[in-house]
Amino acid sequence: MGHAMSHASETPNRQRPLVAAIVGTVVIMAYALFAAVQILVLNPLAAVPGASLRDIYAHVAEAGESMGVLVVLASLAVGPGIAIALLVAVWSGPATSVRRVALQYLAVVALGALGYFWASFGPGMALADSYFISGGDHSQWATPLYVASGLALVAMLLYGIATSPRRRSGGIPRATLS
């Protein structure tokens, strides 16, 4: 007899992986939305205390720079796009495990820090060049994004190791021996 799946999260059914995919998609969309608010609103306001957002954007434009709103939004849409593609795959594809779905979504959240950095670079430099300040984050609200990505990476590694077929069987999974 082959190795039977004994772990509940490994049972390939339709409902549990779909719930995991829906939750993952919502988390990733919230991450991207918060990142956009941080880059386009909170950070500029923190970088130039006392100035209105309208005044900051006007000053940046007068200096010949751009906050690159469309580039920021397009860059931050990558994560939600991947999340929606994963959701559609879970919804319409063959049955899969909660483990696989969770690891995929955790990977996207973990990579969110890179997406945030990429999306925030242009606006940060526009602020730096316009106001002669540092181009880095001035608002502390970037921290939750980096923490969420770091925790997702740790969770992905720990969950992946803890639920590994190799770990449960005490060696190399049977399927890889043939």
Mean pLDDT, the chain, whole residue set: 90
CA angle 61, 64, 67 (to 5 degrees): 50
Confidence of residue 168 (pLDDT cuts 50, 70, 90): low
pLDDT in tens, 122-159: 999 999 999 999 999 999 999 999 999 999 999 999 99
Confidence of residue 160 (pLDDT cuts 50, 70, 90): confident
Residue type, 11: T
Instruction: Calculate mean pLDDT across residues 6-31.
Output: 82
pLDDT in tens, 53-101: 999 999 999 999 999 999 999 999 999 999 999 999 999 999 899 999 9
Q: Measuring CA to CA, how many Å separate 147 from each of 27, 109, 157?
A: 14, 10, 15
CA angle 92, 93, 99 (to 5 degrees): 115
pLDDT of 12 above 80: no
